[in-house]
Amino acid sequence: MTTPDRVVVHLASAALFVGASADGTDADTDVVTDEHGLPFLPRHRLAARLRTAADEAVAVNPGLADASDELFGRSCAHGPDRILRVGHAVLGDSARTAVARALAGRPEPVRSTLRRAVTDAYTTSESSVEVDPDGASRPKSLRTHRVLLAGLTLVAELTWAGPATEEHWRLLARACLAADRIGLRVTRGRGRVDLRLAVPDDHDPHATTLRLAAPPGPPDGAGQAQDEDGEKVSG
């Protein structure tokens, strides 16, 4: 059986992955981008969210506590003792290759203008204001935020520093299913995500994740009755 080598992050709503962009977007809250202007979800934020979701899974099934510590490290430290490394969640290879080719050899300021256009293609600007107890907007409280568009799919590669057991996969799959929000302002409807494990060219990461998250089946022959001669019979 081919094991997953990536986490697929599908944005079910617009998301705020705050950070420094390559050229700045003039928003009060900017979006993190790479050197080509493409937005991404930093690996440490994704790993932290998976660890929090893993804690939720362990609360339901305490027997997976050791697997969680081995995957993510003890005490949420993400130290060198963990066996799982999660990469940045980035756009697909085709998009990144196309943008890299478009920027190759371009001089400044053309290169900067193109990078800004790339960022604009995957994001939008939103505004918000603070309100007082009476519902009126507070003076000078208008803020703009650069958010990733809903519907985008990012992919984070998985790297293992040791062998992964069935319990490791079960815990990781359940963490993906439990992690349904990420980024800032999630309590205001932002950052709803679907995290799923996937193999190369996976047509149904949801089914792959559900299969890995399923509890172990009974041992061979368990639950089967025997007749007087000791032969197994269907129950």
What is the arithmetic mean of pLDDT over 58-75? Answer: 90
* 185 confidence band (pLDDT: 50, 70, 90): confident
- Flag whether pLDDT at 23 surpasses 90: no
Q: Has residue 225 got a pLDDT over 70? A: no
pTM for the structure as a whole: 0.83
Q: What is the pLDDT of residue 234?
A: 45
| CA-angle at 231, arms to 230 and 234, nearest 5° | 125
Average pLDDT of the chain is 86
Assign 122 a pLDDT band (cuts: 50, 70, 90).
very high
- Confidence tier at 102 by pLDDT (50, 70, 90): very high
Using 50, 70 and 90 to split pLDDT, how confident is the model at 213? very high
